[in-house]
Chains A and B, each alone.
Chain A
């Protein structure tokens, strides 16, 4: 009897799943913002209540601080970030000629530190790296995402897409199993959402901190009980790149707030 019930349940679950299978049509794309409660939305919209702005303020200080053997600040070359960095985050991850692969905004900042400031790279998820990234990305607020338009990125986008569609971990789930096929449902009371990276680095109430897209991706990979890639791994950058192309045209919200 138990087996019959289990089979019936399995059949029901499989029958229910393909209702929304496949990629999200452009007209149906929604930012994670639209899934949030009114209180959390209000927190993101008010710059004096959005904790992400604390990192943006720190980032502005760091932007003007001289660093490394070159004794140069970001501002010494790029001058006013409000002008020079406008729209930059909407184009990342972008192709780096020397490394011949895409790098995300955090990696770009670290490359500039090493190449131009002759300073030590900042650790992933360190307060300083998140602050600088948030400050740079905030300059693109409201600008439509355009990452991935460089033809050199095509093979990396394809790899990222493959990773997104590939089942992995003990739960044998692909990113797409939730974020393409079941984004309008809930998982343990939380909205699943469509996984558009519009607001990174963002303040997650669960983290009680700002965090990067790589941190979020690692959390999801851990959640399906797979082995997460290390911070900075090419696979994570390819996933980031694919997600950004998937969200093409959606406005940047950095620093966003998410539950």
Chain B
């Protein structure tokens, strides 16, 4: 049951710098740990996070095994126009999740 928590301001003035926060549920297994029997626990991490603002990519991050479980990303963008922000997380074992939030720019 992967769940995402997104925080995008509902309203902003044109030209405002707004903070975007995105929290995704994920175990982020590093691939370096071993079981009691000595077998390697296979890597299971999110490898990429993207944010699109009305279709245009405004933020992208690549993740590696050192990233904590349930990664929390916070970044800033300029509120240019009303519209939709779409978030996408892609990872190992076919992990793919999306979320979206709307912003009204006055």
Contacts and interface: CB of A to CB of B under 8 A. Distances in A.
B72 A51 contact: yes
Interface residues of A, number: 15
Contacts of A172: none
A127 B3 CA distance: 13
A54 B3 contact: yes
B21 A54 contact: no
Interface in A32-51: 46-49, 51
A62 B23 CA distance: 20
Contacts of A208: 28, 68-70
A49 B23 contact: yes
Contact of A49 (B3, B28, B69, B72): B72
Given A208-B68, A208-B69, A58 B1 contact: yes
B15 to A, nearest CB: 24
Contacts of B25: 51, 54, 58
Given A53-B5, A54-B5, A61-B1, A48 B21 contact: yes
Contacts of A131: 1
B77 interface: no
Contacts of B28: 208
A190 B34 CA distance: 29
Interface string A204-233: 010011000000000000000000000000
A57 interface: yes
Contacts of A58: 1, 3, 25
Interface in B60-80: 68-70, 72, 74
Contact of B23 (A54, A61, A205, A209): A54
B70 A48 contact: no
B96 interface: no
A135 to B, nearest CB: 12
A48 B7 contact: yes
Interface in B30-88: 68-70, 72, 74
Interface in B5-33: 5-7, 21, 23, 25, 28
B68 A48 contact: no
A57 B3 contact: yes
A49 B3 CA distance: 13
B7 A51 contact: no
Contacts of A127: 1
A54 B7 contact: no
Nearest to A57: B3
10 contacts: A46-B21, A48-B6, A48-B7, A48-B21, A49-B5, A58-B1, A58-B3, A61-B1, A208-B28, A208-B69
Interface of A: 46-49, 51, 53-54, 57-58, 61, 127, 131, 205, 208-209
Given A57-B3, A58-B3, A208-B70, 10 more contacts: A49-B7, A49-B21, A49-B23, A53-B23, A54-B23, A54-B25, A54-B70, A58-B1, A205-B68, A208-B69
